[in-house]
Structure 1
Amino acid sequence: MTNKAKLNDIIEEMGMQIDGYRSFINIRTGEVFSVSEDDLIDAEDEKTMDDDLQDWQIENLEIANEIVENYEDYKELPSKYEIDEYKMVKDFCLTVKDVKVQKILFITIEGKGAFRRFKDAVIEFNIEMDWYSYRDRRYKDLAIAWCQNNDIEYID
């Protein structure tokens, strides 16, 4: 019997991804894991654990070994590149009813440093809560669609 995944765990992991790490869900337990690409490579190469490793390093390598050895029990979550938060930002700008604010937001998301300028602007225009609500809804929609496309049972 498989346990249902917690939708919030999936959403949280999708929103916290960083370069050099990959995120997986154990389809039997519903648990979500993030593991470094280096640990996955070491696990695939069947490297043994050094005595010099810290406890957290051992735990991470054990998770990587589990994923490699039982890959059929895991599904990889969408990467941050597949999620495309920049598109989310652009779509949010279209929801802003004040045309002047909307134009300014579109200017802020051009070029390098776009996310920082965008975040500063939503604070300045007092629409920060609107942005985070919008972003949360989009991540939830993405997580639900991903679960459905991958036959992952989930609880809200």
Structure 2
Amino acid sequence: MGGREGLYLIKIDLKQVIFAVESASEAFQEYFDTQTGETVALADPFITGERDEALAELIENSPGRFLPFPSKYEIHEYRIMADFVDELRPSAAREELTGAIRGKGAFRRFKNGIRYHRLEQGWYDYLAQAQREIAIRWCEENGVEYVENKAEM
């Protein structure tokens, strides 16, 4: 009995966590409802001007039921972008992208640079892998067993 079986009471499809990581925004905080298995989103009233009082109250009054998915600030897409550039082999593209990701407008310049150097697919593959790793880490940190296909649930 030395495996991970029995350690987790909650299971989630990893795709659900990855989707929450991909869609993280400043306007909403997404949560995993451990009771229903659904993802719920609570709007930030300072950004959206809206507030779901019933959901906010339910989250506040149900300790342990709602697990917050990683926020946009916890994901650090800029760090992922910089790591991607660092892993490129030495080249004109790497040099240009290193400069592009500095200062205001970094995301726009980076997107233009990867398009120009035909690195878009490599970037999207790299980003997807980074988001998957964030999702797995979230599961492990929250004691949630992940499955890679719904048939395992």
TM class by smaller structure? 0.7 to 0.9
Residue 147 (structure 1) shift: 0.5
Q: 1:103 deviation in Å? A: 0.7
Contact 2:21-2:71 at 8 Å conserved across structures:
yes
Correspondent of 1:79 among 68, 71, 79: 71
Question: Separation in 2 of the partners of 1:79 and 1:144?
Answer: 15
User: Matched residues, percent identical?
Assistant: 29
- What does the per-residue CA deviation read over 1:109-149, in whole Å, with 9 as the maximum and x for residues that have no partner? 01111011101111111110100000000010111011011
> How far has the Cα of 1:27 moved from its partner?
2.1
Matched, 1:20 2:12: no
The structure with the greater share of residues assigned to helix is 1
- Work out which of the residue numbers 33, 39, 64 in structure 2 matches 1:32: 39
Tell me how far 1:101 sits from its aligned partner. 0.8
8 Å Cα contact 1:27/1:152 also seen in 2:
no
**Residues 10, 144 of structure 2: 8 Å contact kept:** no
Shift of 1:21: 1.8
- Count of residue correspondences: 138
- Please say if 1:143 is aligned against 2:143: no
1:112 to 104, 125, 128: 104
Per the TM alignment, residue 153 of structure 1 is displaced from its structure 2 partner at its CA by 1.6
SS at match of 2:74: helix
The answer for the alignment partner of 1:48 in structure 2 is none
Cα pair 2:34 2:66 within 8 Å, conserved:
yes
Work out whether residues 21 and 134 of structure 2, in 8 Å CA contact, stay in contact via their aligned partners in 1: no
